[in-house]
Structures are given as structure tokens and as C-alpha cells.
């Protein structure tokens, strides 16, 4: 079956612009995660959804970051008034559920460059 | 808070040789899960191997095996018969029951022909 897909794969934004990053999880996966990965580093947790409910957003770095998953499937991560420090790869992952340490399946990521 | 440490930023190994990547973690939990993920250059992250903390037996997946030392909070990955396709970033990850994943900083492995 299809894996996790993300779009766009690459995004260049001028400082101050708003961006929206999309994630299509594996069908039937309850849990969806967003991570931020700086160059040469490990993924850092941003936020987590179980179906349409955002259960944890403790990793969002500022109130400029907003995520939604209105119908419990596709998710969008929005960054308002982008800053240069927002430049990173944004990874989306999905899993059957959170409890039980299920494997997370990752998408290819969106590389955001803020100029 | 849980932390994951990978003390080897970069490693290299000759093709067909064996290499071990180190990972240590810090937690006060008793039930948790450990993972090794592989991220090839410009490709997406995929699971290599998974270990449940309550299982004493070390997990194995073909050429990949782990040495899980719960008391020492150590979770190393051994790659046998290294292949060129094993060249990638390797991330160790931890999650306790019902909690999010915490990833280490990664080890860049190069397999040399």
C-alpha cells in the first residue's frame, strides 16, 4: 500500500511569509506526528494527533506554528511569519496508535528554506 | 525527561565487515520500547529494528542485531556483513508506553568499498 506522503517536497519562503505543509498518512493509522529535523541532527517532536484530536503540542517552538487534522486523516502544519530559524526538514509520521510502541512510518519530509 | 545519546557522530566500515553503533538513554520508566531507524541520503527514514524493554532476548533482523543492556541503559546496533546500501544516518529512538518518540542525534555510517 501507499506510504506516508508529504507535499511540497521543497519550499522556499521569504522571511515573513506564511507556509502550509501537508501530510497524507497511511490509511487507517490513528496517530500522526510532526517532527522538525535540523541539518545533521535527529528529529525533534513538534506535535501529535490521535484521529482529529491534537493531544500534545508541547514541541511547537512558538505560537507561529499551528497544526490541524480536521477529519482525522490529512494533516497540515502551518507556519506563520516564517523566520530564518524555521529552516529545516519537517517530517510527518503515522502509526497504528501511540500506545504500545508501534512503529512510526515516516514520510519523505518537506525541506523548508527561509531566505 | 527521557534523553537519548549517540556518542559516535560518524563511523566508517569496510564492505563485508561488522560495525557496532552505540546508544545510551536515560529514563526512570520500566516499560518502554527502543528503536533503530535508518535514514539514507535524501531518502526517508525506515525502521531497522525494535526492542521491547520487558523482553530479555535481543532483537535480530537478518544482518542487524542489538545488544540491549537494560541495567546499563544501553542499546547498541550491530550490522554484520556491511553492504554499500547500509550507508546512512542511524538514529536510536526511545518511547515509553503512551509517550512520544525521543530520538538521538544520529550516527553517520559510511560503508567503504
Q: Tell me the per-residue pLDDT of A23-47, one tens digit each, with 9 for 90 and over.
A: 999 999 999 999 999 988 999 999 9
The larger pLDDT score, comparing residue A2 to residue A7, is at A7
Cα torsion A61, B27, B61, A96: sign: negative
What are the start-end ranges of the H helices in A1-115? none
B60-107 residue pLDDT tens: 999 999 999 999 999 999 999 999 999 999 999 999 877 788 999 999
A contacts of B43 (beta carbons < 8 Å) = 108
Domains annotated for chain B, with CATH where assigned, are: 3-112 (2.60.40.10)
The answer to whether the CB atoms of B104 and A42 lie below 8 A apart is yes
Beta strand A10-13 with A110-114 is parallel
Residue listed under C-alpha cell 516499560: B31
Alpha-carbon distances, residue A88 vs A4, A85, A104, B61 (angstroms): 19, 8, 20, 32
Q: Which CATH number is A92's domain given?
A: 2.60.40.10
Grade residue A85 by pLDDT with cuts at 50, 70 and 90.
very high
Q: Tell me which residue of B73, B89, B35 sits closest to A104, measured CA to CA.
A: B35
Q: Best mutation site among B97, B101, B105 for testing chain A: the one with the most A CBs within 10 Å?
A: B101
Residue range of the domain that includes A37? 5-100
Grade residue A1 by pLDDT with cuts at 50, 70 and 90.
low
Share of chain A above pLDDT 70, in %: 97
The answer to whether position A113 is within a domain reads no
CB of B48 closer than 8 Å to CB of B90: yes
The answer to whether position A17 is within a domain reads yes
**A73-89: average pLDDT:** 97
Amino acid at each position: 500500500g501507499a506510504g506516508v506522503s508529504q507535499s511540497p517536497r521543497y519550499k522556499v519562503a521569504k522571511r515573513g511569509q506564511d507556509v502550509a505543509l501537508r501530510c497524507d498518512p497511511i490509511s487507517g493509522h490513528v496517530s500522526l506526528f510532526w517532527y522538525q529535523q535540523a541539518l545533521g541532527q535527529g528529529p525533534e517532536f513538534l506535535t501529535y494527533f490521535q484521529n482529529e484530536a491534537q493531544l500534545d503540542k508541547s514541541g511547537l517552538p512558538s505560537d507561529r506554528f499551528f497544526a490541524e487534522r480536521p477529519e482525522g486523516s490529512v494533516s497540515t502544519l502551518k507556519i506563520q511569519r516564517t523566520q530564518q530559524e524555521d529552516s529545516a526538514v519537517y517530517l510527518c509520521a503515522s502509526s497504528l496508535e501511540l500506545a504500545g510502541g508501534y512503529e512510526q512510518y515516516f514520510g519523505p519530509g518537506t525541506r523548508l528554506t527561509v531566505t | 525527561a527521557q534523553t537519548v545519546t549517540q556518542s559516535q557522530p560518524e563511523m566508517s566500515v569496510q564492505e563485508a565487515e561488522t560495525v557496532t553503533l552505540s546508544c545510551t538513554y536515560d529514563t526512570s520508566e520500566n516499560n518502554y520500547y527502543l528503536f533503530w531507524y535508518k535514514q539514507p541520503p535524501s531518502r526517508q527514514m525506515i525502521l531497522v529494528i525494535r526492542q521491547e524493554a520487558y523482553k530479555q532476548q535481543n532483537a535480530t533482523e537478518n544482518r542487524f542485531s542489538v545488544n540491549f543492556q537494560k541495567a546499563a541503559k544501553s542499546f547498541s546496533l550491530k550490522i554484520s556483513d556491511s553492504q554499500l546500501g547500509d550507508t546512512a544516518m542511524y538514529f536510536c529512538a526511545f518511547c515509553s508506553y503512551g509517550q512520544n518518540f525521543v530520538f538521538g542525534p544520529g550516527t553517520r555510517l559510511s560503508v567503504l568499498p
